[in-house]
C-alpha cells in the first residue's frame, strides 16, 4: 500500500473539520469555580500569588456567584477564612461562622442555578493549620477528626450546601460523614471524596489564599507524589464508603492517576487544577512567554482528556466566556 493513501492530516485541514473531529470537548457546565470568602472585610482583596483571584466579602461573593451562574458554570466551591482560629476549628461548625454564613448567602442567591459546594476540612479554621485535630503528641488524630467532620457536615448541609468536598484525607471520612448525614435525614446531600489528594508543592499559593497557619507538612495523611497505585486504591475506598463523586488533586502533574481512577470509577471523577498550576501559567503569560488563552484551554482540555468529568479551576468564568464566543 502506498503510505500516502492514509493521510491523517485530512482530519486537521480546517477549523470546521477539527471542531467536528474533536474527541474532547469543553462546556461551562463541566467547570467549578473555587471561591474564597474572608470574614471581616467590606470589599474584595487580591491574593498576591494568584493574579486575578481574591478574597471576597459577603457582598462581592454574592455578585461573583451571580456572574458564575450567568456564565453557565456547573458549580461553586466555597472556602472560608475566619477572623479567629483555635485548636479544634470551632468556627467550622458555628452557624454564624464565615463559611456557613457565606453558604446561606450563595445558596439563597444561586442555589437553583448551579451546585453550591463547600470545602469540608479544618485547615482554614485551626490555629495549627492541620486538616484535623491534634493528639497530645502533636500528630493528627484521625478518629477524633472524623467526629469534627461529621459535625461540620451537618452544619454545612443546614446552611444550604448541596455538595460537601471532603478534602482532609482522613481514613474513613466518607463513611463517617455519610452516616452522620443519613442519621440526620440528609441523605440528599452529595459527597465529593478528595480521594487522591497528594502532598504537593503546587498548593503553595492556596496556603496564602486561606492564610494557613501550618507549620510542618501534611505528608502523614496526604498521598506521596511517588505513588500511582495508591491513588486508585484511595478512590476505590471512597467509592465503597458512599462517595457520590471522587477527586484527583492536583490535576496536571497527576494525569496518570486521573486516568487510572477514571478507568475504574463507576461514579463521576473530578480534578482540581490547583493554585500553583494557575499561578505558573499566569506568571509565564505575564512575561509574554506563552499565549495565555491557548494555554489555559489546553491545560483544561488535557485534564478532561485524561478522564475528568468536571474540573475545578480558577479560570472557570473566563473560560466559559471564551467557549461562548467561539
Cβ atoms within 10 Å, residue 48: 12
Whether omega before 202 lies within 30 degrees of 0, making that bond cis, reads no
pLDDT for res 1: 63
Instruction: Give Cβ neighbours of residue 198 (< 8 Å, ≥ 6 apart).
Output: 222, 223, 224, 225, 231, 249, 250, 253, 254
Residues acting as catalytic residues: 197, 249
Cβ atoms within 10 Å, residue 233: 17
User: For residue 193, which of 142, 134, 233 has the smallest C-alpha distance?
Assistant: 233
Question: What sections of the chain are H helices per DSSP?
Answer: 15-21, 58-70, 98-110, 142-159, 173-183, 204-209, 229-240, 255-264, 275-286, 292-305, 316-325
Whether omega before 223 lies within 30 degrees of 0, making that bond cis, reads no
User: Per-domain residue ranges for the chain?
Assistant: 26-325
**Total residues found in the chain within this entry:** 326
Task: Point out which residues pair with 164 in neighbouring strands.
Answer: 118, 191
Are residues 239 and 267 in contact, defined by beta-carbon separation less than 8 angstroms? yes
User: For residue 37, which of 72, 64, 10 has the smallest C-alpha distance?
Assistant: 64
Task: Write out the three cell numbers for 223.
Answer: 498521598
| CA angle in degrees (0–180, nearest 5) for 245-250-255 | 85
Q: Is the dihedral of CA 96, 97, 100, 105 positive or negative?
A: positive
Are residues 45 and 55 in contact, defined by beta-carbon separation less than 8 angstroms? yes
User: For residue 270, which of 32, 35, 103, 36 has the smallest C-alpha distance?
Assistant: 32
Q: Chunk the chain into consecutive blocks of 10 residues (it has 326) and report each block's average pLDDT, rounded to whole numbers.
A: 84 96 97 97 96 97 98 98 96 98 98 98 95 95 98 98 98 98 98 97 88 86 97 98 98 98 98 97 98 98 98 98 94
Cβ atoms within 10 Å, residue 156: 28
Domain at 26-325: CATH code:
3.20.20.70
Please tell me the pTM assigned to this model: 0.96
pLDDT for res 206: 87
Amino acid at each position: 500500500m502506498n503510505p500516502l493513501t492514509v493521510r491523517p492530516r485530512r482530519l486537521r485541514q480546517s477549523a470546521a473539520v477539527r471542531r467536528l473531529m474533536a474527541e474532547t470537548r469543553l462546556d461551562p457546565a463541566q467547570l467549578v469555580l473555587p471561591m474564597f470568602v474572608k470574614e471581616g472585610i467590606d470589599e474584595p482583596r487580591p491574593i498576591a500569588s494568584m493574579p486575578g483571584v481574591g478574597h471576597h466579602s459577603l457582598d462581592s461573593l454574592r455578585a461573583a456567584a451571580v456572574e458564575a451562574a450567568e456564565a453557565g458554570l456547573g458549580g461553586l466551591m466555597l472556602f472560608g477564612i475566619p477572623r479567629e482560629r483555635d485548636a479544634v476549628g470551632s468556627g467550622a461548625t458555628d452557624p454564624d461562622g464565615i463559611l456557613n454564613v457565606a453558604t446561606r448567602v450563595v445558596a439563597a442567591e444561586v442555589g437553583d442555578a448551579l451546585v453550591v459546594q463547600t470545602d469540608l476540612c479544618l485547615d482554614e479554621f485551626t490555629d495549627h493549620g492541620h486538616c484535623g485535630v491534634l493528639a497530645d503528641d502533636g500528630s493528627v488524630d484521625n478518629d477524633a477528626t472524623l467526629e469534627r467532620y461529621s459535625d461540620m457536615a451537618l452544619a454545612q448541609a443546614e446552611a444550604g450546601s448541596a455538595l460537601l468536598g471532603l478534602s482532609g484525607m482522613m481514613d474513613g471520612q466518607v463513611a463517617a460523614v455519610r452516616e452522620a448525614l443519613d442519621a440526620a435525614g440528609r441523605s440528599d446531600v452529595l459527597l465529593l471524596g478528595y480521594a487522591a489528594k497528594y502532598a504537593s508543592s503546587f498548593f503553595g499559593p492556596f496556603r496564602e489564599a486561606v492564610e494557613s497557619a501550618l507549620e510542618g507538612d501534611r505528608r502523614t495523611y496526604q498521598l506521596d507524589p511517588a505513588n500511582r497505585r495508591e491513588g486508585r486504591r484511595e478512590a476505590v475506598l471512597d467509592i465503597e464508603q458512599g462517595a457520590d463523586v471522587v477527586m484527583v488533586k492536583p490535576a496536571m502533574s497527576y494525569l496518570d492517576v486521573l486516568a487510572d481512577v477514571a478507568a475504574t470509577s463507576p461514579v463521576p471523577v473530578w480534578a482540581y487544577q490547583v493554585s500553583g498550576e494557575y499561578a505558573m501559567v499566569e506568571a509565564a503569560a505575564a512575561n509574554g512567554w506563552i499565549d495565555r488563552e491557548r494555554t489555559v484551554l489546553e491545560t483544561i482540555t488535557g485534564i478532561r482528556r485524561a478522564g475528568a468529568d468536571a474540573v475545578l479551576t480558577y479560570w472557570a468564568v473566563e473560560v466559559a466566556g471564551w467557549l461562548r464566543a467561539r
